[in-house]
Amino acid sequence: MKGWLFLSLMMVGSLFAMTGLRQFFIEPLEDPGVNAAWFLIQLLPLLLPLPGMLRGNLRPTFFMCMSSMLYFIHGVLVVFDPDLLVFGLFEILFSLGLCGATAVLVRRIREHEAGLTSTEKD
């Protein structure tokens, strides 16, 4: 289960990096304060469930899986811009990797919790 968590964290970090690279260097806004605020707003779907996912809770891990689809949709929209084709492809790749890794994590956490409750009943 730790391997899947590590893979999930690698994908989250990659999405952080891709978003930051695009926001601050490729398509920055004019005002640095607004630019930083927009960057945090874009990362909020990943930042909110992250502490719960690190603790191994089921619900935040599931929400992380669902929020990765937002980045997939954004990547699909970005891929149609010829100048940002590579960034869009990487965003799609990292978001699908995050969705797959967290989906496996959700399954493992559910199996672990079901195993604990069934042994507690016996």
- The closest alpha carbon to 75, from 87, 60, 61, 59, belongs to 87
**pLDDT at residue 38 tops 50:** yes
Residue 81, burial from CB neighbour count under 10 angstroms (0-12, 13-18, 19+):
exposed
What pTM was estimated for this model as a whole?
0.89
pLDDT in tens, 12-29: 999 999 999 999 999 999
Range of the domain at 24: 2-121
Provide the number of structural domains found in the chain.
Answer: 1
The most distant pair of C-alpha atoms in the chain lies apart, rounded to whole Å, by 63
Q: Report whether 95 contacts 87 (CB < 8 A).
A: no
Q: Report whether 92 contacts 72 (CB < 8 A).
A: yes
